[in-house]
Chains A and B, each alone.
Chain A
Amino acid sequence: MIKDINSIMEAVEEDAQLGHHSEEDDSDISDIEQEDAQLGEESEEDDSEMSDGALQEAFAMGLLKPGINVRTLAPKKTVNNTEGLKQSLANISKTLPWVERLDLTNQPAEDIFATPETKQTAKTSEAIDSNNDFQREMFFYRQAQATVLEAMPRLKKLNIFTKRPDDYFAEMAKSDQQMQKIRKKLIAKQAIMEKSEKAKKLREQRKYGKKVQVEVIQKRQKEKKAMMTAVKKYQKGMTDKLDFLDGDQKATKGLEQKNAKGANPNQKKAMNKKGPNAKRRSKDDRFGFGGKKSGKKWNTKESHNDVSGFRAKLAHGKGGKAGKGGKGGKFNNKRPGKSVRKKMKGRS
């Protein structure tokens, strides 16, 4: 059933009862026509000449269906002369013993390496995806394997050898030069792989080594610190035992002892809670972390806007004497004048 859209359109305009709906634009029709012309499709019937009457008759017979009827290409009829093929086959077949032909037809052998998750082993050649190179080549390989496995015993029976002895020299299909080239290439490939593996390993080692080094240094520093604190404690008289001198031995021996003794660790903890000395703390405040004082005298927005250090009374000179007087005569900072001091000196 191959219809022409143009003729259908005409039919619709003429007789709406046919019930054809066409919602296509003109451009689409021309498109299809253009495509038809270019792809060189030939319809079986000459549709452009089909008259409306013929169309109506066709509809009456039930050949036309509602909807858009598009021209389609008839399936190409190819020659398949099965009889002729079989005849030719019979003509050329020679009755030869198998040993002359050495041909076998078989399914591929079992794939021992494939697991159900990695690849689906194709059993028949229809199942393989020819674009998946690996699967395809494995299929061919296994087919050859199956042939070889089947043929081996048969050949043995016929006294034909597949293994040539080591001292049988004869011309090979590929020359020695060629094989040398192949070997060189393989070796080069292997060398490259090994190099990259080595480089990777070296990188890993270096990373690991660096880590280990850092850890060792840190451990040493910790130990030193511990030693120094222990020494200082002894100096200050906090502990009167000289245990820390045997330090290492104790460390290796008394891991269990350390855990068993509850008192010692607690004592140590108490010491450490106070942290460094008061002296140490004050020094830290002044000089620690690069000396905080260095950043404190900047004239920033915050410092400008910071009026916490402003005493209005002091600034306007109002509360000064009262403040000073309030403190007390002896404790005020103001120094007496020379005459007063002389008098005082003279008296004492």
Chain B
Amino acid sequence: MSTLKRKRGGKGSAEKKAKKAKFVENGNEQESKKEITVPAPVSAGKWKNKERVLIFSSRGINFRTRHLMQDLRTMMPHTKADTKMDRKDKLFVINEVCEIKNCNKCIFFEAKKKQDLYMWISNCPHGPSAKFLVQNIHTLAELKMTGNCLKGSRPLLSFDPQFDKEPHYALLKELFTQTFSTPQYHPKSQPFVDHVFTFSIADKRIWFRNYQIIEEDASLVEIGPRFVLNLIKIFQGSFGGPTLFENPDFVSPNMHRSEIRLATAAKLREKSMVKELQKVKRTEAKEVLVKDVTDMVFATPADENPMQIEMEPPIELKKKKHKLFQKRRSQQTN
């Protein structure tokens, strides 16, 4: 009887027998298969691709980041969680944490100044790592994202063709693929493929979206979460090592904020300078022009202009607000 309950795997649903998996929706999730102990053949295949991702964060994150992390863990069943890391510790400590947890990939969120969120993706023991600035976070809980998917179902990954053009993008593509795709026959995974992750490049940033596949004709609804990644650097080692790539278009959020402040300050300074100059001009002794007698030689009286009577009131032009600085992607607010 107990075996009747537990079917969760490719075959169980394919053969439409009475032995179908029925789970109560309160989340009576039971692990049906561990590769070592096989009480009954539950899953159609063996879990070979041992990919485990560790998702955790530093201290000082806000609620949105916390929810984003939770959402990523929901979406990806091959992830593990860990406690918050103290910022005093150096980053290479993370490698050790990963080793302890037996994970070979890591996603680490770092919050600075309670405003900026940075994300590290790394291949843990020796591999490359990348640091991003995360912006425009929307979590699963937003009511505008109406889609839903099975918890732990395997995703399709969709990449922009631009990812194949540059070597750093190609490396990132490989890293994303290995991190975000759920291994086949993972014990916590569901056999269906019902959602798709999209990675696109726009405005020199990487945009992440998650859609649910409703129909076979590719009608989609967004599930969430969604965020934008701005690449900062790619390192050869995990959380350290020589820099392989530095993004020339990246402006650190601090720089960005200071640029805005400087711009407004410069504007004000210019205004005050102009005012001063005008004052000086007014108080200056004005030059008295000597009248030249020969000036009037060629003067001819001008024709009288016909008197113009305006029948319509003058048009008032709308004053345009000139923004000195086009504000970039909205920063994560506290």
Interface residues of A (CB under 8 A from B): 27, 31, 35, 38-39, 76, 78-82, 84-86, 88-89, 91-94, 96, 99-107, 109, 124-126, 128, 130, 136, 139-141, 143-149, 151-152, 155, 159-165, 167-174, 176, 178-179, 181-182, 185-186
B193 at the interface (CB under 8 A from A): yes
Q: Are A79 and B216 in contact (CB under 8 A)?
A: no
Q: Which 7 A-B pairs have the closest CB atoms?
A: A147-B158, A130-B203, A103-B157, A78-B246, A148-B218, A88-B128, A85-B167
Q: Are A92 and B178 in contact (CB under 8 A)?
A: yes
What residues of A have a CB within 8 angstroms of the CB of B85 in the complex? none
**Complex interface: stretch among B9-17, B88-96, B282-290:** B9-17
Nearest chain-B residue to A89 (Cβ)? B171
**Complex interface: stretch among B108-116, B143-151, B299-307:** B143-151
What residues of A have a CB within 8 angstroms of the CB of B178 in the complex? 92, 94, 101
Picked from A107, A149, A167, A168, the residue with its CB within 8 Å of the CB of B218 is: A149
What residues of B have a CB within 8 angstroms of the CB of A173 in the complex? 74-75, 140, 148-151, 223
Q: Are A109 and B75 in contact (CB under 8 A)?
A: no
8 further contact pairs, Cβ within 8 A, besides A101-B178, A102-B181 = A27-B273, A81-B243, A89-B170, A89-B174, A101-B177, A147-B156, A148-B156, A160-B192
CA A152 – CA B266 in complex, angstroms?
Answer: 57
> Within the complex, what minimum Cβ distance (angstroms) separates B9 from chain A?
12
Q: Are B192 and A144 in contact (CB under 8 A)?
A: no
Q: Are A35 and B266 in contact (CB under 8 A)?
A: yes
Q: Are B127 and A92 in contact (CB under 8 A)?
A: yes
> Within the complex, what minimum Cβ distance (angstroms) separates A162 from chain B?
5
Q: Which of B3-34 contact A (CB under 8 A)?
A: 8, 10, 13-14, 16, 20-25, 27, 29
What residues of A have a CB within 8 angstroms of the CB of B200 in the complex? 125, 139-140, 143
Picked from B162, B194, B244, the residue with its CB within 8 Å of the CB of A125 is: B162
User: Counting chain B CB atoms within 10 Å of each CB, which of A89, A139, A169 scores highest?
Assistant: A89
CA A163 – CA B13 in complex, angstroms?
Answer: 11
B61 at the interface (CB under 8 A from A): no
What residues of B have a CB within 8 angstroms of the CB of A169 in the complex? 21-25
> Within the complex, what minimum Cβ distance (angstroms) separates B113 from chain A?
20
What residues of B have a CB within 8 angstroms of the CB of A100 in the complex? 49, 181, 183-184
Q: Are B244 and A104 in contact (CB under 8 A)?
A: no
Q: Which of B89-107 contact A (CB under 8 A)?
A: none
What residues of A have a CB within 8 angstroms of the CB of B193 in the complex? 102, 151, 155, 160-162
B331 at the interface (CB under 8 A from A): no
Nearest chain-A residue to B159 (Cβ)? A105
CA A38 – CA B201 in complex, angstroms?
Answer: 34
What residues of B have a CB within 8 angstroms of the CB of A146 in the complex? 158
What residues of A have a CB within 8 angstroms of the CB of B163 in the complex? 105
> Within the complex, what minimum Cβ distance (angstroms) separates B264 from chain A?
13
Q: Are B244 and A78 in contact (CB under 8 A)?
A: no
Q: Are A130 and B175 in contact (CB under 8 A)?
A: no
B236 at the interface (CB under 8 A from A): yes
B239 at the interface (CB under 8 A from A): no
CA A126 – CA B203 in complex, angstroms?
Answer: 8
What residues of A have a CB within 8 angstroms of the CB of B216 in the complex? 152, 162-163
Q: Are B246 and A80 in contact (CB under 8 A)?
A: yes
> Within the complex, what minimum Cβ distance (angstroms) separates B267 from chain A?
12
Q: Are B158 and A144 in contact (CB under 8 A)?
A: yes
> Within the complex, what minimum Cβ distance (angstroms) separates B261 from chain A?
11
Picked from A35, A78, A160, A172, the residue with its CB within 8 Å of the CB of B248 is: A78
Q: A140-B200, A171-B151, A173-B223 are in contact. Are A159 and B245 (CB under 8 A)?
A: no
CA A165 – CA B157 in complex, angstroms?
Answer: 23
Sample (17) of A-B pairs whose CB atoms are under 8 Å apart: A80-B245, A81-B242, A81-B244, A85-B171, A85-B244, A88-B171, A100-B183, A102-B193, A103-B156, A103-B181, A104-B156, A105-B158, A130-B205, A146-B158, A148-B156, A167-B22, A172-B25
Q: Are B202 and A128 in contact (CB under 8 A)?
A: yes
B187 at the interface (CB under 8 A from A): no
B207 at the interface (CB under 8 A from A): yes
> Within the complex, what minimum Cβ distance (angstroms) separates B281 from chain A?
13
Nearest chain-B residue to A103 (Cβ)? B157
B82 at the interface (CB under 8 A from A): no
What residues of B have a CB within 8 angstroms of the CB of A101 in the complex? 157, 177-178, 181
Q: Are A79 and B14 in contact (CB under 8 A)?
A: no
Nearest chain-B residue to A88 (Cβ)? B128
CA A298 – CA B243 in complex, angstroms?
Answer: 102
What residues of B have a CB within 8 angstroms of the CB of A86 in the complex? 167
Q: A101-B177, A161-B191 are in contact. Are A125 and B201 (CB under 8 A)?
A: yes
CA A325 – CA B83 in complex, angstroms?
Answer: 133
Q: Are B175 and A182 in contact (CB under 8 A)?
A: no
> Within the complex, what minimum Cβ distance (angstroms) separates B206 from chain A?
10
B234 at the interface (CB under 8 A from A): yes
CA A185 – CA B146 in complex, angstroms?
Answer: 10
Q: Are B13 and A161 in contact (CB under 8 A)?
A: yes
Q: A92-B123, A105-B160 are in contact. Are A144 and B245 (CB under 8 A)?
A: no
> Within the complex, what minimum Cβ distance (angstroms) separates B175 from chain A?
7
CA A174 – CA B184 in complex, angstroms?
Answer: 22
What residues of A have a CB within 8 angstroms of the CB of B207 in the complex? 136, 140
What residues of B have a CB within 8 angstroms of the CB of A78 in the complex? 245-248
CA A16 – CA B21 in complex, angstroms?
Answer: 94
Q: Are B266 and A106 in contact (CB under 8 A)?
A: no
> Within the complex, what minimum Cβ distance (angstroms) separates A196 from chain B?
20
B260 at the interface (CB under 8 A from A): no
CA A86 – CA B155 in complex, angstroms?
Answer: 27
What residues of B have a CB within 8 angstroms of the CB of A141 in the complex? 211, 220
Q: Are B167 and A89 in contact (CB under 8 A)?
A: yes
What residues of A have a CB within 8 angstroms of the CB of B236 in the complex? 84, 88
Q: A96-B49, A141-B220, A172-B150 are in contact. Are A80 and B168 (CB under 8 A)?
A: yes
What residues of B have a CB within 8 angstroms of the CB of A104 in the complex? 156-159
Q: Are A140 and B209 in contact (CB under 8 A)?
A: yes
What residues of A have a CB within 8 angstroms of the CB of B157 in the complex? 101-104, 147
Q: Are A148 and B194 in contact (CB under 8 A)?
A: no
